[in-house]
Amino acid sequence: MSVLAIDIGSTRLKAALLDRSGSILALAQRESPLLATPLQPADALMAVSEIAHEVCNGTRPDAIAVTGATRTTVLVDENGQAIGSAIPLSDGRGAAQASLLQAAYAAPDAHGLGAFHPLARVLDIREHDAAAYRGMRRALDLKDWVNLQLTGQAQVDTVALSRILPADGDIEALLVRLQLPPGMTGEPCAPARTVGVVRETAPPAWHWCLGVPVVQCGFDAWCASFGMGSVHVNAVYNVCGTTDVFGGFTRTRTTIDGIACLPWGEDIQHLGGPCLTGLSTLAWFGKQFLGNADPSAVIACAANADDDCPLALPFVHGERMPFWRPELRARFLDVGELHGTAEFARALIDGLLLFQRWLIAKLSPAPSAVYLGGGGSALANWPQAKASAFGVPVRIAHGAEPALLGAGMCAQVALGRFGSLTESQDALCAGYREVAPDPVLTRRLRSIEPRFLAHLNRMLAE
């Protein structure tokens, strides 16, 4: 048994051929098509086709599972073709639609019902691009549009769909209230279920695997959480990369404003979501002030800082969870004449870590450890910086590429190798290494935390 897993990530496009034990038989990666501006769905599909052909190298897989970055919206016409360019995950359009969505959801004070919300984006298009809206039949995430091209089935994973369900679960009634097209979100399909098979009308680049089942996956963070072995009650995880994702797991539904609670798997709820304050924040600083956008260059620069540093609120790109405010901006505070590049670099890193510590406390007040994945987990000194901020060890899965492994788990469940995702996670995760906090860094971060929180609260009150 072999399965082809593909991850259309925000920074890297990756594909792997996995065997029945979850081991990687072949791996390929390249720059993600999501980095293109504008993001053309046809170009993304071509890149996916090429990397799939490369990694399989003549092997016909038993199943195909495609995951990818969430909130990458593709407008789809009646024939399944993309209309214009896709909306990337960082696009904050839809903020002006918040009051309309709040009324439709009967949630007048709720956060998260404006910028970045899939339906808010469609409402924004209706207002500002009438031609695109008239031609639209559906609005799908990019991974689901790729599945549509392969199988002819317009389906959406039930985890992603649950983010936009109203309290009564009736998505069609919500669409009526918003005067949006019926069935616009696609047909629901639970992860680890077969969407369809590669059909003869699929792009010619896929004809080498006609008839191969295409399996529904959750988005990349969902897949990674299983690939990291973190999906257990009371566990907490952090997928750290260009942007970061945080989540914790409970048995019962929990309500925290601005933080989604979603059914994640068999009898388990997920509390969490995506943030914009990830390694892209450090890359911005490196590009602007060091001439090097590599986050490791910023970390190295910060290591030379004096103990006296400014304070930073790190929202260079605005922020998604839990604020959902694209207009937020970074601030450097308490700046003195002796502060140089190294001190500003350290301040930005400290601010990012303290914000994430504050967020972790919302998800789980007393975690025993945090599961860590994503590209940042391999960055020198970054796992220990995270552990020091969180005040607990971080656990990094031994298996490479957790998102691809999680997608492979979906495929194996769909093929009948395992009876559930929980069973596949327990069987295929190969354990982890643990990185302990640095007590010196922990004490330093704790010493500036009260000032940071005071400034954060003032910013949010503005």
pLDDT at 89: 82
Q: Which residues of the chain have pLDDT under 70?
A: none
Which candidate, 141, 220, 128, 127, places its Cα nearest to that of 184? 141
Q: Give bridge partners of residue 148 from the DSSP assignment.
A: none
pLDDT at 255: 86
Cβ neighbours, 10 Å, residue 451? 13
pLDDT at 366: 86
pLDDT at 19: 97
pLDDT at 415: 97
pTM above threshold 0.75 = yes
pLDDT at 374: 86
Which candidate, 230, 211, 122, 105, places its Cα nearest to that of 163? 105
pLDDT at 399: 79
> Which domains, ranges and CATH numbers included, belong to the chain?
2-218 (3.30.420.40)
pLDDT at 229: 94
Per-residue pLDDT tens over the stretch 340-360: 999 999 999 999 999 999 999
pLDDT at 398: 87
- C-beta of residue 383 within 8 angstroms of C-beta of residue 372: yes
